[in-house]
């Protein structure tokens, strides 16, 4: 059975002090058995080293929101995979739509980062998703397929299941508009079919595909109940313990 992965993308929120306070109350509230659910928090770079000791001994894994595709060098402002590992990161978000939209990340660049993350022992959460204009034009499947094919380029089958795919329709991110469970399920099933054609049905059956886009306690149960939705990448609602905890609970299979 595939695990359910619930990841919180803090984006550019919470300084080091706020991180300590949040992690303390969040881990205190995680009193229930997580069963099949893996929980990940992805704070800003400056909070990773603060979060690491606070998460030690808890079931919560640490992730970053971006990384350089280079190992080291004269790349001012960049953070290398090895640096993320040195502060306890297991996961790294790659190709979030905000990075594609505001920082010019391309499908090729996302593929480089995915391959570098895998080679460095990090688990990439690779984001794909269509804009509102693309959905309205009826090209969702072709846009998302192009992104998925690109991110897996030159990734060998034995590594493919270490990639977590996050399907995040751009029009649903931070807008309060959620894809209906049926809309999300349709794209997730299409992605799983594509992974079958790229690799095999065995690999497609093992790969985790998260949904992201205004996931909240009110819609999480229905979204996570869809057969091909294996978790959530949560933005706004992960910033408060009161809203993140019920989303995690929604991922626990009965």
Question: Residue 172: helix, strand or coil by DSSP?
Answer: helix
- Check if the beta carbon of residue 144 is closer than 8 Å to that of residue 187: yes
The residue count for binding ligand PEP (CB under 6 A) is 14
CB of residue 236 to ligand PEP, shortest distance in Å: 3
- Check if the beta carbon of residue 213 is closer than 8 Å to that of residue 223: no
Q: Decide: is 214 part of the binding site for ligand PEP (CB under 6 A).
A: yes
Exposed/middle/buried for residue 162 (C-beta within 10 Å: 0-12, 13-18, 19+): middle
Q: Please pick, from the candidates 43, 129, 169, 212, the single residue that binds ligand PEP as defined by CB under 6 A.
A: 212
Pick the stretch among 102-110, 136-144, 180-188, 230-238 that binds ligand PEP (CB under 6 A): 230-238
C-alpha dihedral, 115 to 140 to 224 to 56, nearest 10°: 30
CB of residue 168 to ligand PEP, shortest distance in Å: 5
Q: Decide: is 173 part of the binding site for ligand PEP (CB under 6 A).
A: yes
Closer of 43 and 213 to ligand PEP (Cβ): 213
210 pairs with which residues across the strands?
166
Q: Please pick, from the candidates 4, 9, 120, 210, the single residue that binds ligand PEP as defined by CB under 6 A.
A: 9
5 pairs with which residues across the strands?
38, 231
Q: Decide: is 95 part of the binding site for ligand PEP (CB under 6 A).
A: no
Catalytically active residues are 96, 168
Helices (H) and strands (E) in the chain, counts: 12, 8
CB of residue 44 to ligand PEP, shortest distance in Å: 13
Binding site for ligand PEP (CB under 6 A): 9, 11, 168, 173-174, 212-215, 233-237
């Amino acid at each position: 059975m595939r695990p359910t992965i619930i990841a919180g993308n803090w984006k550019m929120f919470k300084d080091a002090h706020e991180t300590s306070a949040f992690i303390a109350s969040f881990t205190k509230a995680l009193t229930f058995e997580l069963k099949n659910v893996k929980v990940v928090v992805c704070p800003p770079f400056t909070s990773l080293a603060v979060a690491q000791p606070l998460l030690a001994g808890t079931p919560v894994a640490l992730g970053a929101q971006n990384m350089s595709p280079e190992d080291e060098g004269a790349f001012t402002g960049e953070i290398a995979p090895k640096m993320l590992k040195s502060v306890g990161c297991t996961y790294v978000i790659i190709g979030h739509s905000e990075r594609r939209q505001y920082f010019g990340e391309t499908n090729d660049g996302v593929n480089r980062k995915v391959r570098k993350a895998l080679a460095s022992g990090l688990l990439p959460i690779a984001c794909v998703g269509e804009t509102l204009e693309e959905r309205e034009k009826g090209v969702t499947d072709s846009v998302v397929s192009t992104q998925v094919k690109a991110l897996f380029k030159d990734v060998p089958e034995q590594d493919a299941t270490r990639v977590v795919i996050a399907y995040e329709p751009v029009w649903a991110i931070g807008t309060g508009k959620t894809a209906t469970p049926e809309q999300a399920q349709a794209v997730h099933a299409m992605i799983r079919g594509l992974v079958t054609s790229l690799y095999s049905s065995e690999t497609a059956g093992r790969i985790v595909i998260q949904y992201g886009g205004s996931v909240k306690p009110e819609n999480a149960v229905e979204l996570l109940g869809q057969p091909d939705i294996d978790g959530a990448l949560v933005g706004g609602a992960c910033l408060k313990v009161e809203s993140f905890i019920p989303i995690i609970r929604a991922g626990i299979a009965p």
